[in-house]
Structure 1
């Protein structure tokens, strides 16, 4: 391997509110992307074209999958080629890559010591062979019988969480041996489950699964962590349900159940070597399906399940915007990945992208892209306790000759959205003229317009502050300028 760059639920929900405290906000630095395998391709030009399309939609992160099968200790040559194409295309488009490694179904659940060792070796080989990929997600929805069996032991106790924890621990150690800086995401949990051992479809709720993981970790006596962050899929109960719908009296976890989730993690792991209530959270799948217009119906096959309840494209965009606003104000959230950027053509699957199945944009494309821009600028929502400091960079005041010709323009850059105030301050005291404005992150031009300043010398003073979540104002002042 080549070296790299180195019954309790209601009480818990109430307690979690006190644990979380005032929201400081995940803020503009959180990862914004899509869970999207369409960027995987056997040739680089195709991967590059798909990655550029994803980037055009405003996404700067992508999660791709890699399926482990029993017997594999490293990706096949074809698998590695596709992942390398993703890595290169992502680097060319400034996109962060997450790789989710998991078994494709319940028949391939890695339960034995041999299989778990193979899985860990396979995942470590990906980390070693793809040096620019630093985020690895271990498993996919191990709380569902679709991906993990058994879910329960003969006595009805949870069996999936302890077995998954053992896999996660071994994989964590293998990845850290390749590079300690690799970020290992555990969980990738589905948002709900029945917790009925004798049910037709045995599944575990994320609430019960996290509690069982904590119990297994404490019983193991392990003195090092098993994950650097928790991944979870906070889908609403259906696409027509608002993302701000909470589940205080159930075991489900959606975007609005952040306090409950933090409380669960704290109860499971606080006081051990594994961080709990401070653990970073990645929403690595969040999708809202939209209805397919008649003009695009020929691109799709099959029929939509009645339980999906897709919405029109306007509502899809509004739900994504609300989901982003919710996540933006949650202190330990590291990112949110929409599922998908482009629709799947089978209606039994997901039509949750901002592109149709043929790659053409939906009407929601523009609104979602704007929402992503407002997240990066820090203005999508006001968060209690959040204070974003903005400092103007590359400030260019007019020179003396230009100022005498009537140039009253200052050019600068804001790393976040900013509100600016430009003043002409007399050297003798007082303000001769003032102009104010607001700009999104990037290059800004502030001007006093045609303000008449007389013959008294002045200094131009530029002050910037964040318009929605203001921190400390930042001012820059020019030298002495004379209008005449």
Structure 2
């Protein structure tokens, strides 16, 4: 933790579950922000009031079972489904949910990262050897954030009822291997491994709180579909099919990150065709319906869609893929409007609140790295209200 935990009055209020949208569009679209850099590492007394001023109703947070983030599992637990097990340290996340709820924001927790003891130390981005270990951790997390659990100080922690399984599993940065050779052909191993991750999180969460909502997928917008490349990845539609073939089931929503690829693209721009005029393999906001149609074919029309990451970088400071401040604000407004018009989309999360300090990072914040508001700050606030 890079900042001290300040005193916080014990307070919690009921969190509304997702409301079914009307047939004409997502009148109930919920808008929020994802920015672990400022939320988990920043000064909460400053960050959370600013989040509240944006009008954000949701806050996505990566809940690290283990990995490069602030991990919960410090060693192998003796009682993995017990949130009080000594191997667990929830302090950062306890603080986060309390500050979020006091400021009128509902947390969305994304469980990610495998501890060394759970996959023979093959890396945090390799699926656990036994999915049961992840299922029990998810159950422990939901028990702690059930709305009735008291921490060591006797404070009842708020409820978290919105959950995600992993992040961009079609990208080797977050899940590997992406492919596995079977005889003379290749199998999309990431989809099959992810099916087990998805099922473990769904089963663990719902074994404690049946009414909680769990999203699987959280896919990145594109992949090269080339197992022989130096960095193989899988585009969203074949990944979704592999996930289905692997037995993924029981989730409430499919999460996706429909980012643009070029600064000349607007939110409604369709991806470029593939080689020799083949259909595009990327899924952006401009062709989100192709993903929804495939989701419907595989899982039926009851499966909802959550956009759990989206954003436009700005120039300055990003001169390569950034757009002007004015265009960022305009595209933000257009993107939320596209999501709101779609009757299957229930959630839209913007990435980030504040630009990342590294130029090689992301500069899609509603404020600059110094905290100066961009025009997108007020655009987001208007879009969040709807």
Per the TM alignment, residue 258 of structure 1 is displaced from its structure 2 partner at its CA by 2.6
What's the offset of the Cα at 1:335? Answer: 0.8
Do the aligned partners of residues 239 and 51 (structure 1) sit closer, same or farther apart at CA in structure 2, a change above 3 Å counting?
farther
Which of 86, 90, 101 aligns to 1:80? It is 90
- C-alpha distance 264-41 of structure 1, shift in aligned 2 (>3 A): closer
Bigger radius of gyration among the two: 1
Q: Which residue pairs with 1:236 in the alignment?
A: 260
Map 1:60-71; keep pairs closer than 5 Å: 60-69=57-66
| More strand as a share of residues | 1
Structure 2 counterpart of 1:40 = 39
Unaligned runs of 5+ in 1: 6-21, 270-275, 294-303, 376-484
**Structure 2: distance between partners of 1:235 and 1:361:** 22
Cα pair 2:29 2:346 within 8 Å, conserved:
yes
Over residues 384-417 of structure 1, what are the superposed CA-to-partner deviations in whole Å (9 max), with x where a residue is unaligned? xxxxxxxxxxxxxxxxxxxxxxxxxxxxxxxxxx
Aligned positions, number:
327
Indicate the residue corresponding to 1:441 in structure 2.
none
* Counterpart mapping for 1:425-444 below 5 A: none
Question: Structure 1 residue aligned with 2:210, among 180, 187, 206?
Answer: 180
8 Å contact from structure 1 (residues 40, 83) kept in 2 = no
Against the structure 1 CA distance between its residues 198 and 23, is the aligned structure 2 distance closer, same or farther, given a 3 Å change threshold?
farther
1:270-289 map, 5 Å: 276-289=300-313
Q: CA deviation at 1:107?
A: 2.7
- The structure-2 alpha-carbon separation of the partners of 1:113 and 1:334, relative to structure 1 and needing over 3 Å to count, comes to same
What is the TM-score normalised by the length of structure 2? 0.78
Q: In structure 2, the residue corresponding to 1:53 is in which secondary structure?
A: helix
Q: Give the structure, 1 or 2, with the largest relative contact order (CA under 8 Å, sep 6 or more).
A: 2
**CA separation in 1, counterparts of 2:112 and 2:55?**
27
Q: 1:239 to 1:286 in 2, by over 3 A?
A: farther
In the alignment, what sits opposite 1:129?
A: 144
Q: Give the conservation status (yes or no) of the 8 Å contact 2:114–2:128.
A: no
Deviations 1:198-249 (A, max 9, x none): 11210000011011122222xxxx8xx3311111101011344211012372
Q: Does 1:266 align with 2:265?
A: no
Aligned counterpart, 1:144:
171
Within 5 Å, which residues of 2 pair with 1:104-123?
107-114=123-130, 116-123=131-138
Aligned equivalent of 1:103: 113
Structure-2 separation of matches of 1:174 and 1:332: 25
Structure 1 residues 49, 169: CA separation in 2 closer, same or farther (over 3 Å shift)? same
Asked if the contact 1:31/1:61 (under 8 Å) is kept, the reply is: yes
Deviation at 1:138, TM superposition (A): 0.5
**Is 1:166 aligned with 2:196?**
yes
- Structure-1 separation of matches of 2:162 and 2:176: 26
In the TM superposition, what is the alpha-carbon distance from 1:34 to its structure 2 partner? 0.5
Residue 38 of structure 1 contacts residue 50 of structure 1 at CA under 8 Å; is this kept in 2?
A: no
Shift of 1:266: 2.1
- Structure 2 residue ranges without an equivalent (≥5): 1-13, 15-21, 68-74, 116-121, 147-158, 274-278
Q: 1:260 to 1:353 in 2, by over 3 A?
A: same
Q: CA deviation at 1:144?
A: 0.8
Q: Structure 2: how far apart are the matches of 1:240 and 1:347?
A: 20
Q: Flag the 1:365–1:59 CA change in 2: closer, same or farther, 3 A.
A: same
Take 1:278 and 1:145, find their aligned partners in 2: how far apart are those partners? 30
CA-atom RMSD in angstroms: 2.7
**Relative to structure 1, is the Cα distance of residues 159 and 61 closer, same or farther in structure 2, using a 3 angstrom cutoff?**
same
The match for 2:315 is 291
What's the CA shift for 1:313? 0.6
How far the C-alpha of 1:347 sits from its partner, in A, is 1.1
1:32/1:72 Cα in 2 relative to 1: closer, same or farther (>3 Å)?
farther
After TM superposition, the structure 1 stretch with the greater mean CA deviation from structure 2, 364-373 or 257-266, is 364-373
Secondary structure of the 1:173 match is helix
SS in 1 for 2:308: strand
Return the offset for 1:133.
0.7
Distance 2:98 2:375 in 1: 30
1:239–1:64 CA distance, 2 compared to 1 (3 A):
farther
Query: What is the match of residue 26 of structure 2?
Result: 26
User: What residue in structure 1 maps to residue 368 of structure 2?
Assistant: 356
CA-to-partner distance for each residue in 1:6-26, whole Å, 9 max, x for gaps? xxxxxxxxxxxxxxxx97211
Distance 1:199 1:23 in 2: 43
> Higher mean Cα deviation, 100-109 or 245-254?
100-109
1:418-457 mapped onto 2 (5 Å cutoff): none
Structure 1 CA distance for aligned equivalents of residues 112 and 239 of structure 2: 18
Look up the match of 2:9. Answer: none
Q: Contact between 2:127 and 2:175, CA under 8 Å: does it hold in 1?
A: no
Q: Sort the Cα spacing of 1:266 and 1:41 in 2 relative to 1 into closer, same or farther, 3 A.
A: closer
